[in-house]
Structure 1
Amino acid sequence: MNKVKVKFYGVRGSIPVCGKEFQRYGGNTTCIRILREEANRVAILDAGTGIRMLGKELIRDGVTQNIINIVFSHFHWDHIQGFPFFAPAYNPDQRIGILAMGRKGKVHDIKGIFSKQMQEEYFPIQMDTMGARFEFYAYGDKETIFGAHVKSIPQFHKYHGGSYGFRLDDEGVSLVVCTDLEHVNGIDASIVDFAKGADLLIHDGQYTTAENNGVFKGWGHSTWEQAAEVARLAHVKKLIITHHDPDHNDDFLDGLEQECQKVFPNSLFAKEGMEVLVG
């Protein structure tokens, strides 16, 4: 069986945070590396501030790959803000694929999304002068990418076209990532069906139930209880909660993780540097 290794480089939502109370879980925004061990091929999910360290590691470890693909769940600031600091993007010999799954025919200027945040008013280097060769793809709901079957699903994330979840099925290994989604009027049955039987489900859990029912209702995120219920109903093997709220410190997240494990025992809260072997 092929092995897929998942490593977390950023696990925060909304905005990066720093301080001694955030050291164990980390303060960088969303970035996940997916490594197909047998093929030694790296793909990246989202380019929050965590992608800076990922880029440094790829260079340090001498990772060479014809094209490095970065798949985006959506283009909110916390999921793209690390991109200008991704070191391989400055290598003229490197091709980088910018992939928007599920958005074929729905988004027409992916390059513009990244170029705007790097225009000279905001950043000293513009995208066209970074060095790497960029390729932009808006894919449909089902694609085969480097031999792996990748599916996407639209999620309720209130603003600007929502977000998309992903499912990777690769030689008997199944990985589902559903971040930046809100379950409205009960658990979204389509998400449960999408995650059915997965080896690993990575799911948004930014808010507590009290927060989600209060001021943050409608803000487009889930609770750990909802994530655990999706995992239970979908019969997934392992659950990891991510996209932690910037106001939730290490001790607070420890408490939530313990509560989650009472409901779904094979669950963890994501930490920067955490590496999980799937399959």
Structure 2
Amino acid sequence: MNRTFKFIILVSKNLIMLIKFFGTRGSIPICDSGFQEFGGNTSCVAVMDESKKGSVLVFDAGTGIRNLGKELMQRDFEPNDRIVMAFSHFHWDHLQGFPFFAPAYDVSKKIDIIAMGQDLSSPNLKAVFANQMESTYFPVSLDNMGAQFNFLTKEANSQYFSTGKSGSLFSNKHNHPGGAYGYRLEVEGKVFVYCTDVEHGETLDQNVIDFAKDADVLIHEAQYTPDELSNFKGWGHSSWEQAIEVAERAGVKKLYLTHHDPEHNDDFIRAEEKKCQARFKDCFFAREGQEVLI
């Protein structure tokens, strides 16, 4: 496990973390009827205190981050509160919502954007966001958005400071075209793991299993069914069967499957969920807007 950053997250006296899904769809957003129960927005998950006060940790900025931004604009931030955005990688479906994130236009907001992990090969982190907001693509440049941005890679900084209880944030590199990273958040003995855009191959990636060990909640992508998986070798994704096996071998308590294929409608996913729960009782296909407490 590669310890590269520590993250300080505000948690309640009862040490309860709230995890909320704002984007659960993979590859491209879907707005068709019949696709809304499980969500049409692309990847975005937020972790915060149960009271919904204090700093917030955000994983990925797919189109779901727009609704997260609207929610955050309705809450009070203290001077030391921060929005920390951690990215698994920078494919469009994990990045495309960023220009529509309302707090990014608020001069009072402090936003840390981080990329972390062993063998990190990302280009200049600020450039990733600035380039997609050049005038050819978007009318507002990154430098004119307004928020106080801090761009951090693993070499640039080693610790965040705030008040409240501390948590450690770890990263793990896994197989995906261009590379991708999972994250493990540990807060006072509670463990949350976010693992999306991972292709295991013929056998499961043991590093992923070790990374998810004893997690209270594991979010693992499952874009394909077991029958579909062989048709998409090299695409960088997993089946729900593989995700369940990771959870079983890692001793995970609850498993949430995400990155739903854009061809899978609500009826289809609901039927697959029943198959999953027949094998692993505490397994759910993530629904947009769903909240999970640890």
Category of TM-score, reference length = shorter chain: over 0.9
Identity level (%): 50
Partner of residue 32 from structure 1, selected from 42, 45, 50: 45
Partner residue, 1:42:
56
Shift >4 Å, 4+ stretches:
142-146
2:272 matches 1:259 = no
Partner of residue 149 from structure 1, selected from 168, 175, 178: 168
Describe the SS at the equivalent of 2:103.
Answer: helix
**1:143–1:150 distance in 2 versus 1, CA, 3 Å:** farther
1:209 shift after superposition:
1.7
Task: Answer whether contact 1:103 1:138 (CA < 8 A) is retained.
Answer: no
Q: Could you give the per-residue CA deviations for residues 60-105 of structure 1, whole angstroms, max 9, x where no partner exists? A: 2334563211000000000010000000000112121111021676
- CA–CA distance in 2 between the matches of 1:259 and 1:11? 19
- CA–CA distance in 1 between the matches of 2:54 and 2:114? 20
Q: Could you give the per-residue CA deviations for residues 196-247 of structure 1, whole angstroms, max 9, x where no partner exists? A: 1110110010011222101x11100000000000000001100000000011
2:286 matches 1:270 = yes
Q: Could you give the per-residue CA deviations for residues 16-50 of structure 1, whole angstroms, max 9, x where no partner exists? A: 00121111111000000101337743111100000
2:233 matches 1:217 = yes
2:202 matches 1:202 = no
The TM-score with structure 2 as length reference comes to: 0.89
2:157 matches 1:167 = no
Give ranges in structure 1 of 5+ residues lacking alignment.
none
The TM-score with structure 1 as length reference comes to: 0.94
**1:154–1:105 distance in 2 versus 1, CA, 3 Å:** closer
Task: Answer whether contact 1:30 1:50 (CA < 8 A) is retained.
Answer: yes
Task: Answer whether contact 2:182 2:193 (CA < 8 A) is retained.
Answer: yes
Task: Answer whether contact 1:211 1:217 (CA < 8 A) is retained.
Answer: no
Partner residue, 2:9:
none
1:144 shift after superposition:
5.5
Describe the SS at the equivalent of 1:69.
Answer: strand
Partner residue, 2:261:
245
Task: Answer whether contact 2:54 2:81 (CA < 8 A) is retained.
Answer: no
* Aligned amino acid, residue 202 of structure 1: I
**1:145–1:209 distance in 2 versus 1, CA, 3 Å:** farther
**1:105–1:121 distance in 2 versus 1, CA, 3 Å:** same
- CA–CA distance in 1 between the matches of 2:84 and 2:266? 32
Task: Answer whether contact 1:143 1:149 (CA < 8 A) is retained.
Answer: no
* Higher mean C-alpha deviation, range 64-73 or range 87-96: 64-73
Q: How does 1:114-133 map to 2 (within 5 A)?
A: 114-133=129-148
Task: Answer whether contact 2:50 2:293 (CA < 8 A) is retained.
Answer: no
1:106 shift after superposition:
3.2
- CA–CA distance in 1 between the matches of 2:120 and 2:174? 17
Q: Could you give the per-residue CA deviations for residues 246-270 of structure 1, whole angstroms, max 9, x where no partner exists? A: 1100000001111000111111100
* Aligned amino acid, residue 251 of structure 2: H
2:22 matches 1:13 = no
Q: How does 1:2-151 map to 2 (within 5 A)?
A: 2-37=15-50, 40-64=54-78, 66-102=81-117, 106-139=121-154, 145=160, 147-151=166-170
**1:200–1:89 distance in 2 versus 1, CA, 3 Å:** same
- CA–CA distance in 1 between the matches of 2:240 and 2:221? 8
Please tell me the root mean square deviation across aligned C-alpha atoms, in Å. Answer: 1.8
Give ranges in structure 2 of 5+ residues lacking alignment.
1-13
